[in-house]
Amino acid sequence: MRPPATSLLPAFAKTYEDDRHRDEGRRHADRRALLETRTQRPSVPARLRAAILAIARRDHSLTDYPCRLPDGSIGRVAVIQQNGDWTLTCRVA
């Protein structure tokens, strides 16, 4: 005859709690160490140079719409200002 299931629950609960709290101090110490470490970044001049290059290369006029270039390849529609008017053109993406 099988023992009633309720007699196993306290033993199982105790095992579960022991497993849950095992190495808890080490885990908390590891977490604190991760939060306290300073993130490694490139130097300020290197970040400034990268930001300037990104701004110089950026083309605000390109849209997400594809278009066909005269040579048959696919480009993207660009909105540019010519003589005070906004014009849609197809550019190399």
Judged against a pLDDT cut of 60, whether residue 3 lies above it is answered with no
User: Is 1 part of a structural domain of the chain?
Assistant: no
Q: Total structural domains in the chain?
A: 1
Supply the range of the domain harboring residue 79.
60-93
Residue 85: pLDDT band with limits 50, 70, 90: confident
- Top pLDDT among 40 and 78 is at 78
User: Is 87 part of a structural domain of the chain?
Assistant: yes
User: Is 43 part of a structural domain of the chain?
Assistant: no
pTM as predicted? 0.36
Query: 22 in the Ramachandran plot: left (φ > 0), alpha (ψ -120 to 50) or beta?
Result: beta
